């Protein structure tokens, strides 16, 4: 789906590009080790230490391997999988090269992660102001200068640009012109909407909804009744509406630490034994924010040995081991099962001392 940029020239329309490096960590490893290019390759933690997959190349994906999968499970699916621990310093170095290329075209860049970003090129004069040509040129320069392939999506808002960048992966470009937007969105599966996970998708399927066209048939009131505040977001995105701006700076909303244990913790007592060490690590991570950011809340995350997880939280204005112990007990009691991971964190107030600022997910 591709068009020339005159369709984007109306004053009210923005030109947003979403850029996503293809299997980035694995791609860097394949550049360093060309002999790994055609074999199943994954970057992740050791299976013996209950690690998970960070990313994998496309030969590995043919075996059903994906990010966040336990490394042990990945090796079961593909015994010949080449599993490497990775080199984050090298990944950051390559990412800096790639973002330097982005900055040749615009200063309005919102990093989403080390290998993903939104660019607003609405007002740039580069390449005649054509978002399509800019995306093509960025992809070319990144490939020539770093060897990494980048998939790109071009649209009038962040939601659609994000969906488009995934449309022709790997090494693809998809442009959604405003005139094509309604048709594109109507055919979009609801699972492509950010925030629609397996449970929400199952609930939508129970309402007879599998595509955005079917989602559009539900009223705003119905969606709010079924999904609360998220229902309003569903109503907007089902119509391709997204007013979020590309933000060049993101304010940290939280700090957290978590640990996956080499052996499951069998009961609450063993979980409590780990809490003081986790709290010390959390305090260390919070230290550099202490002078400028107020603690607004405490959160504990527990992941059980069947990979289900839960969180418990409350308002708090400082470190308090007793409160964290209470939250840990509350979370554990919901399932009363062996635990593989515990996380602890603080919600942080805004730098402008706006204690009611919206908080992003902590974990």
Note the pLDDT tens digit of each residue in 230-278.
899 999 999 999 999 998 877 678 899 999 898 899 999 999 999 999 9
Note the pLDDT tens digit of each residue in 79-98.
999 999 989 999 999 999 99
- Point out the catalytic residue in the list 116, 137, 352, 353: 116
Identity of the highest mean pLDDT range in 9-13, 160-164, 245-249, 280-284: 160-164
Percent of the chain, pLDDT > 90?
72
Cβ atoms of 197 and 309 within 8 Å: the answer is: no
What is the pLDDT averaged over residues 9-20? Answer: 80
Reduce the DSSP state of residue 89 to 3 states and report it: helix
What is the pLDDT averaged over residues 138-166? Answer: 96
Check pLDDT > 90 for residue 23: yes
Q: Is residue 343 packed enough to be buried (19+ CB in 10 Å), middle (13-18) or exposed (0-12)?
A: buried
Region class of 234: left (phi > 0), else alpha (psi between -120 and 50), else beta: alpha
Give the per-residue pLDDT at 135: 97
Give the per-residue pLDDT at 8: 54
Reduce the DSSP state of residue 155 to 3 states and report it: strand
Check pLDDT > 50 for residue 186: yes
Min mean pLDDT across 113-127, 315-329, 333-347 is at 315-329
Give the per-residue pLDDT at 51: 84
Upper half-sphere CA count for residue 352 (Cβ side, 13 Å): 5
Give the per-residue pLDDT at 1: 46
Give the per-residue pLDDT at 204: 92
- Cα–Cα distance for residue pair 42/326, rounded to 1 Å: 38
- Cα–Cα distance for residue pair 283/54, rounded to 1 Å: 26
3-class SS letters over 95-132: HHHHHHHHCCCCCCEEEEECCEEEEECCCCCHHHHCHH
Whether 38 has a binding-site annotation, put simply, is no
What is the number of residues in the chain? 363
Element (H, E) at 237: helix 229-237
Domains of the chain: 5-22+89-178 (3.30.70.270), 24-87 (3.40.1170.60), 187-237 (1.10.150.20), 254-348 (3.30.1490.100)
Percent of the chain, pLDDT > 70?
93
Check pLDDT > 80 for residue 178: yes
Note the pLDDT tens digit of each residue in 120-151.
999 988 899 999 999 999 999 999 999 999 99
Check pLDDT > 80 for residue 355: no
pTM of structure: 0.75
- Cα–Cα distance for residue pair 73/303, rounded to 1 Å: 17
- Tokens found for residue 358: 């919206």
Q: Is 116 a catalytic residue?
A: yes
Check pLDDT > 50 for residue 362: no
Element (H, E) at 191: none
- Cα–Cα distance for residue pair 123/62, rounded to 1 Å: 41
**Higher pLDDT among residues 317 and 63, named by residue:** 63
Among 228, 262, 363, residue whose Cα is nearest residue 309: 363
Beta bridge partners of 83: 42
Cβ atoms of 118 and 16 within 8 Å: the answer is: yes
* pLDDT band per the 50, 70, 90 thresholds, residue 291: confident
Check pLDDT > 50 for residue 337: yes
Whether 5 has a binding-site annotation, put simply, is no
């Amino acid at each position: 789906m591709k068009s020339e940029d005159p369709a984007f020239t109306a004053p009210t329309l923005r030109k947003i590009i979403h850029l996503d490096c293809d299997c980035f960590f694995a791609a860097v490893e394949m550049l360093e080790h060309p002999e790994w290019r055609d074999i199943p390759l994954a970057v992740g933690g050791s299976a013996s230490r209950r690690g998970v997959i960070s990313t994998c190349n496309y030969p590995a994906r043919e075996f059903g391997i994906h990010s966040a999968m336990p490394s042990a499970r990945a090796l079961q699916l593909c015994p010949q999988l080449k599993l490497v621990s990775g080199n984050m310093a090298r990944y950051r170095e390559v990412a800096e090269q790639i973002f330097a290329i982005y900055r040749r075209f615009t200063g309005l860049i919102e990093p989403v992660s080390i290998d993903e970003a939104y660019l607003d090129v609405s007002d740039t004069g580069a390449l005649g102001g054509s978002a399509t040509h800019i995306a093509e040129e960025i992809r070319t320069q990144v490939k020539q200068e770093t060897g990494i392939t980048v998939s790109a999506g071009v649209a009038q808002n962040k939601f659609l640009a994000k969906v488009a960048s995934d449309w022709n992966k790997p090494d693809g470009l998809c442009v959604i012109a405003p005139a094509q937007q309604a048709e594109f969105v109507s055919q979009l599966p609801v699972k492509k909407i950010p925030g629609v996970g397996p449970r929400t998708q199952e609930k939508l399927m129970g309402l007879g909804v599998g595509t955005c066209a079917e989602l559009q048939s539900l009223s705003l009131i119905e969606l709010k009744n079924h999904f609360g505040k998220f229902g309003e977001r569903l109503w907007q995105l089902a119509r391709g509406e997204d007013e979020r701006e590309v933000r060049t700076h993101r304010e940290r909303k939280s700090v957290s630490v978590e640990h996956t244990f080499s052996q499951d913790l069998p009961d609450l007592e063993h979980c409590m034994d780990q809490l003081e060490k986790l709290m010390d690590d959390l305090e260390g991570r919070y230290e550099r924010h202490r002078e400028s950011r107020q603690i607004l809340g405490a959160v504990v995350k527990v992941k059980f040995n069947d990979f289900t997880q839960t969180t418990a939280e409350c308002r708090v204005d400082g470190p308090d081991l007793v409160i964290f112990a209470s939250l840990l007990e509350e979370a554990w009691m919901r399932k009363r099962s062996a635990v593989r991971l515990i996380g602890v964190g603080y919600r942080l107030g805004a730098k402008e001392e706006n204690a009611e600022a919206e908080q992003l997910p902590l974990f």
